[in-house]
Amino acid sequence: MITDFPAKPLPLPDPAETGAELAAFGGGAIIPKELRRTVFPVITKEDVFNLMLAQRAKPERVVADFAEAYRSYVGAGYALPTASGTSSLHLALVGAGVQPGDEVIVPAFTFIATAQAVVAAHAVPVFVDIDPKTYCMDPAAAAAAITGRTRAIMPVHVHGLPADVPALRALADSHGIALVEDASHAHSAKIGDQVAGSFGDAAGQSLMADKNFPLGGEGGIAFFKDGASHQRAVDYLERHGIDYGMSWVAAAFGASQLKRLPYYDEVRARNAALLGEALEGTGLFHAPYVPQGHTHAYNMYRITLTPDAIGLGDLPVYAVKEAVHELLVAEGVPAREWQNTPIPCHLPFRHRGGFGNGYPFSLNPEAVRDHRPEDFPVTLGMLDSTLVLCRELRAPVEYERALRYADAFTKVARRPDAIRKLVTDGSYRRPYEKAARLG
């Protein structure tokens, strides 16, 4: 029988290992290959029983009950459960009043679904750069991009850190346009006591199985501030005959997972703090920046490198990052890039075929730009100098894994000579010079 149960426990850290030879150079790995898998979501008997009992109810009742429970948790006015995160973003835009040919401002750094949802709403995405500390949409860049045809600003709470909502809300209000959140990374993320998904006029959120709040397979949910926005989205589905409905199986699984979400949140926060403390002691690595009053959900954990702190400032930072990436992976840390080029430089937004004959871009050709990566210098700098842990801080029973990740970063940072050798002997390229990829 296939099982997710580990064959044996991960050993507790041994301080001597951080001074041993790097795994990439023949030493032992901090995390052995056979123990590198993390398991999530955790499936319990409660999940199974809930799925079985849900078969007695009408499917639409199961979905409606889940949506209401999660809407209450988030604190949004209205909710509309959907089949995916992209469909939830589409409906959030429609509910906010976005019309064909309108302009929607989105960040150049996000998952491609943010911009694809704008196109699905028959509008034109207008891309802007990000803040150099939060990696979320830069409010000043958004302000500079507003025109007479801008209908909405769509910040992304990237990796689970809420964007600068107060500044963006003020900007939207001053121009009479909508604020639509992409909260797909931001389950339980907060500013003060307010939860992401309830900040804007509308919001979309992915609930797929690899998110911090997972449903059974694919799923999403759109939130709306008022009844008129919610009704606008409902009418749109009926008018166009679109089935974006959530599966009752996904909803039933999500209903029991929702009860454990606060527990998962605490585990991630604990592990993020533990790892952050270790990173700051290395000189080379730095934890994600979190503004005061913000609660980071840590759907992903983006780590910044400062090579000059360990005597590598003469080397290109992107090359140091690539070498460090190789060393970390050899130690058993599943670090990765997660995006390597700005979203407007991906094929759908370079060729702009849209729905055919350039639609909907042809509705507003003045909003269309032929972007180069260099148009977004902050995004490029971030991609050059950061690595990501995607889902590895949330396994609730593996405190020792977080400790071992910390030791692996410490071990690598202690070997600037090895990093320099890899950079000198290698032929590394900047991330955007490689084939564009997602995730």
Res 392: pLDDT: 83
Give the C-alpha separation, 194 to 392, whole Å.
26
Look up residue 268 and give its two tokens: 């991630």
Helix axes 399-413, 317-330, angle to 10 degrees: 130
Look up residue 411 and give its two tokens: 């071990």
Dihedral angle over CA of 423, 428, 432, 434, nearest 10: -150
Contact 103, 123 (CB under 8 A): yes
By residue count, the chain amounts to: 439
Dihedral angle over CA of 255, 256, 259, 265, nearest 10: -100
Give the C-alpha separation, 296 to 294, whole Å.
6
Res 1: pLDDT: 46
Strand partners, 128: 107
Q: Is the pTM of this model over 0.75?
A: yes
**Span 45-255 CATH architecture:** 3-Layer(aba) Sandwich (3.40)
Q: pLDDT averaged over consecutive 10-residue blocks of the chain (439 residues)? A: 70 92 97 87 88 92 97 98 98 98 98 98 98 98 98 98 98 98 98 98 95 91 98 98 96 94 94 96 98 97 98 98 98 95 96 94 96 97 97 80 96 98 96 88
Look up residue 326 and give its two tokens: 């190789």
Strand 301-305: give its sheet, edge to edge.
285-286, 301-305, 386-389
Q: Are strands 220-224 and 294-295 parallel, antiparallel or unpaired?
A: unpaired
Q: What is the CA radius of gyration of the chain?
A: 22
The angle subtended at Cα 386 by Cα 391 and Cα 346, nearest 5°, is 85
Q: How far apart are the first and last CA of the chain?
A: 31
Look up residue 425 and give its two tokens: 């002997």
- 343: CB partners within 8 A, 6+ apart: 106, 107, 108, 109, 110, 111, 112, 114, 115, 127, 349
DSSP code for 299 = S
- 415: CB partners within 8 A, 6+ apart: 22, 327
Look up residue 195 and give its two tokens: 């939860």
- Residue 326: which of 14, 10, 23 has the closest Cα? 23
- Residue 402: which of 273, 221, 210 has the closest Cα? 273
- 98: CB partners within 8 A, 6+ apart: 104, 118, 121, 123, 151, 152, 178, 180
Contact 139, 186 (CB under 8 A): no
